[in-house]
Structure 1
Amino acid sequence: VSSEGGGHNPSLVGVLRNPVFGAYFAGSSISNIGTWFQNVAQSILIYRMTGSTFLVGVVNFAMFVGLVAFAPWAGPMADSHDRRRLLLLTQAVALCIAASLWLVVVADAENTAFIVGAALMMGTAMAFSVPALQSLVPALVPEGHLSRALSLNAVSFNLARAVGPVLGAMVVAGLGFAWAFFLNAASFLVFVVALLVIRPRGGSGERPGSRRLRDTATMLRQDRRLLGLLAVVALASLTADPINTIGPEFATRIYGYQDTFTGWMIGAFGVGAVAGALVVSRVGLPSVRFVFSMLITGGSGMVLFGVSEGPVFGLIGLGIAGFGWLAAVMLATTAIHILVADDHRGRVMAFWSIAFMGVRPVSSLLSGLLTAVGGPRLAALLLALPAVLGALGLVMVR
């Protein structure tokens, strides 16, 4: 399948009809749903085994710390190697890790150390896949379709975030943890098949004379626009992450529900995020005021969730938080792609992956510690501050 084609300002459906991007979108969406099966399952499993929200935070820390640790290598690899082949390798590794979790649970041999170790290895595979994944998208569609394709790429992740946790919680409650891990392994296989089918426009990598990561870091320091856009992504993600760590305790301690209600909470956040991506899908270079409003929206939603006494207002707050979070991230990400040359793209997206997911180790540990000290409400309210501070910072440097 080839990605040739043209057209300008297409509809979202029109972009999906592109056979290359359509195959990629389907495989990526299924894989993302499977990943949320594992995220929810491992958080609930650790919480049931230990009763410790801090250890849930440790698992999430392990899942994302690799994005920071391996960024110096992941970005350059995305620029100097075939991105599709790099993704094939990382997805195959992730499949093996998910399958190992399935086997351990089937054998009734699960323990905290193994689950943390598996999360660490999965995060390492993710560290090398994210820059390649983000850098590959522009090669799957004609240039005039880029904004829409990036929005759909975000929709893929967040539609999975809306559906995956709910389905994952249902699988855990109805079939058990082993099935959740097995289905995640199967989802990676689906994405591998999709990657084998597609042929990106103009190839997808092996660029001679690629720049060093240090050169890209210098460029970012000199370009306040790009640095500010990456800061928006990081601050928005700091505010968004706590729900993944504090969810089980918030569900049981505040709402009086079972810990599997975490899936519905993360799902509500995902529904809002999908709506946010669709709303900003036609925006190119955003105004400072627009990004400011989305950061404030995300922070306000987390505050509403943090003060909620019952699940109705809590789910509404999480939906608002998800809307503001992804809208702000999408506006910043689209602008980054527009402003960055392709020979810097992999390295810039390595910095983007640090901003988007690399802040989560810090956020996960903070969420766990704050919950241990002052309860889940304190964690939710204090970690709403980064989005508000980011919005104020945008106004000050405008």
Structure 2
Amino acid sequence: MSSLSAETSATAGAPPTTWAPLRIAVFRWLWIGALVSNIGTWMQTVGAQWLLVHEPNAATLVSLVQTAQALPVLLLAMPAGVLADSFDRRWLLIGVQGFQTVVALLLTVLTAADRMTPGLLLSLTFALGAGAALQAPAYQAVVPDLVPRPLIPNASVLGSINVNIARAIGPAIAGVVVARAGVPAVFALNVVSFVVFGLVLLAWRREPDARGSEPFLPALLAGGRYVRHSRVVRRLLLRCTMFVVPANVLWALLALVARDRLGLGAGGYGVMLGALGIGSIGGAFLLPRVRSRLTTNGLVAAAMVLYAAALLVLVVTPTAWLGVLALLPAGVAWVGVLSTLNANLQTFLPVWVRARGLAVYQLVLFGSMAGAAAAWGAVADAFGLTTAYVAAAVLLVVGAVAGALLPLRDTSGLDRSPAMFWPEPRVAIDAGQHPGEVLVTTTYHVSGERRDELLALAPDLRRMRRRTGGTSWALYVDAADPTRYVEQYTVASWAEHLLQHSGRLTATDRDLDLRARALSDPPTEVAHLFTARLPGD
């Protein structure tokens, strides 16, 4: 592992197959380490649930294991994104692995000593879920730093394959280990999986992140502000919700379809889950070819229609084997939509806010899944399984058609690298004596057709100022001189504005800013105004 390095040359001249990112040594080792860790997590889930099957109220306790694992994602996604954007991501990942190793070891020792109670088991499971929630944004945010931009979609697909392989292998291994050596052995193997991933991270050599840490609350607000004022990110999140909400009917109610409609037992249900996993992995082989023939919008729409067809076949057919076959294209469509959206987000988000943007995506994804599962359960109870699946299929088709009205923007040509082109601001007073908001003004002198050009650029300027730190924005025209326009926006603090100077703007933002400034004759005038301290303040 000492040879780990970001060998981007490994991809030179290679066709962009799904597996191409694995030619890069550092990505390959991290992917393998994450796979081992994911297998251990699925094994731990099975072991925890088995430990509770003989307790009173076993059904409730067993279901709470999944809740204890998933709830931290909803609670900690945004704080995790802030931490991943504020600190060195490699050391953050190493720290999380150390924390999870300690928790898993405690779980193993207490279970082996027969000291494990249901409440303690759920608490430690929650702690492991918290570690996973803290890890996810940081891990996803480093992927664009490890592989060349054209391979990011393939790396995203490999992330989905990783999860599906672990989902297929982990429970099977856990079942054998529980039968032969007991639950403590399963928990001990989970400890080993964390140690393996931790060693891979320690062997990874890279330059420390140059980003300075931001105060937690301003960084949290900045992440939310960026998402709120970025049309590209908002559209990706909307399309994710439009797919996940109806599509999750499959995951929420598949066990009931297996038992009540197809007459299958636990073994048959396992086969159905395996078919979904196989479909997801098979989709990895198809996606590069599909991407070369369809636009991103076309791919997402086609996958939604394919998923809808699979849902209809699943609840209409009385034949178990046909229902199992229908899950293969469902797996292809699931990985196709989510990996495509995830890859688009990874390539678009600038480095300073990448983990926070991905954290919001995780929040929307898991929140939609949790809410949709409850909603589809209620629909099935009230109107039946068939109605629930048909309604979900209709929503998927409607969503695919609506995608034409809500298209995803092609961001492949955008330069998302940091651009530090604003000159150092001139300051003649002590900023520390004026801790309030800062007003930034830019005066343009434009006439004739240039006024129309400036007004046409104004909405993009507003979004750019707001997503990089501005808390308000306005454009004014001088009543006495209609060729004089004054753009002004406020920033929460001087420190926040300096971050705009030092890396929050991208090369695409620079091009927009320079286009607007080029319209002014004479050149634009920029001023920075501190909040004045009044008597008695």
TM-score normalised according to structure 1 size: 0.82
Matched, 1:269 2:272: no
- The residue aligned with 2:226 is 219
**CA–CA separation in structure 2 for the residues paired with 1:48 and 1:313:** 35
Identity across matched positions, percent: 26
- The residue aligned with 1:5 is 8
- The residue aligned with 1:150 is 156
- The residue aligned with 1:333 is 342
Using the TM superposition, give the Cα deviation of residue 39 of structure 1 relative to its aligned residue in structure 2, in angstroms: 3.2
Could you give the per-residue CA deviations for residues 100-132 of structure 1, whole angstroms, max 9, x where no partner exists?
Answer: 444454455555434433332222112211100
- Is the CA contact (8 Å cut-off) linking 2:244 and 2:365 kept in structure 1? yes
**CA–CA separation in structure 2 for the residues paired with 1:234 and 1:64:** 18
- The residue aligned with 1:39 is 45
Q: Which amino acid aligns with 2:199?
A: V
Deviates more, 1:80-89 or 1:62-71: 62-71
Using the TM superposition, give the Cα deviation of residue 259 of structure 1 relative to its aligned residue in structure 2, in angstroms: 3.9
3-state DSSP of counterpart to 2:8: coil
**CA–CA separation in structure 1 for the residues paired with 2:255 and 2:81:** 34
Using the TM superposition, give the Cα deviation of residue 34 of structure 1 relative to its aligned residue in structure 2, in angstroms: 1.8
Q: Which amino acid aligns with 2:6?
A: S
Could you give the per-residue CA deviations for residues 275-323 of structure 1, whole angstroms, max 9, x where no partner exists?
Answer: 2233224749943222011123234434444556565334323332221
- Is the CA contact (8 Å cut-off) linking 2:18 and 2:284 kept in structure 1? no
**CA–CA separation in structure 2 for the residues paired with 1:36 and 1:24:** 18
The within-5 A match list for 1:138-217 is 138-172=144-178, 175-200=181-206, 202-204=207-209, 206-208=211-213, 212-217=219-224
- Higher strand proportion: 2
Structure 1 pair 311–273 and aligned structure 2 pair: CA distance change class (3 A)? same
- Is the CA contact (8 Å cut-off) linking 2:296 and 2:340 kept in structure 1? no
Q: Which amino acid aligns with 1:267?
A: G
**CA–CA separation in structure 1 for the residues paired with 2:220 and 2:229:** 14
Using the TM superposition, give the Cα deviation of residue 336 of structure 1 relative to its aligned residue in structure 2, in angstroms: 1.3
Structure 1 pair 95–29 and aligned structure 2 pair: CA distance change class (3 A)? same
- The residue aligned with 2:27 is 21
Structure 1 pair 35–359 and aligned structure 2 pair: CA distance change class (3 A)? farther
Q: Which amino acid aligns with 1:91?
A: Q
3-state DSSP of counterpart to 1:122: helix
The within-5 A match list for 1:89-108 is 89-108=95-114
**Which of the numbers 343, 356, 362 marks the counterpart of 1:347?**
356
Q: Which amino acid aligns with 1:340?
A: L
Deviates more, 1:334-343 or 1:177-186: 177-186
3-state DSSP of counterpart to 1:3: coil
- Is the CA contact (8 Å cut-off) linking 2:156 and 2:340 kept in structure 1? no
- The residue aligned with 2:130 is 124
- Is the CA contact (8 Å cut-off) linking 1:272 and 1:318 kept in structure 2? yes
Structure 1 pair 274–309 and aligned structure 2 pair: CA distance change class (3 A)? same
Q: Which amino acid aligns with 1:83?
A: R
Specify every segment of 5 or more residues in structure 1 that has no aligned partner in the other structure, as ranges: none
Using the TM superposition, give the Cα deviation of residue 92 of structure 1 relative to its aligned residue in structure 2, in angstroms: 2.5
Could you give the per-residue CA deviations for residues 124-153 of structure 1, whole angstroms, max 9, x where no partner exists?
Answer: 112211100100111222344333323222
CA radius of gyration, larger in: 2
Could you give the per-residue CA deviations for residues 55-108 of structure 1, whole angstroms, max 9, x where no partner exists?
Answer: 554432332122121223111111111111111222232333334444454455
**CA–CA separation in structure 2 for the residues paired with 1:370 and 1:179:** 41
Report the count of equivalent residues: 397
**Which of the numbers 67, 70, 78 marks the counterpart of 2:76?**
70
TM-score normalised according to structure 2 size: 0.63
Q: Which amino acid aligns with 2:232?
A: R
Structure 1 pair 63–275 and aligned structure 2 pair: CA distance change class (3 A)? same
The within-5 A match list for 1:77-92 is 77-92=83-98
Q: Which amino acid aligns with 1:266?
A: L
Using the TM superposition, give the Cα deviation of residue 24 of structure 1 relative to its aligned residue in structure 2, in angstroms: 0.5
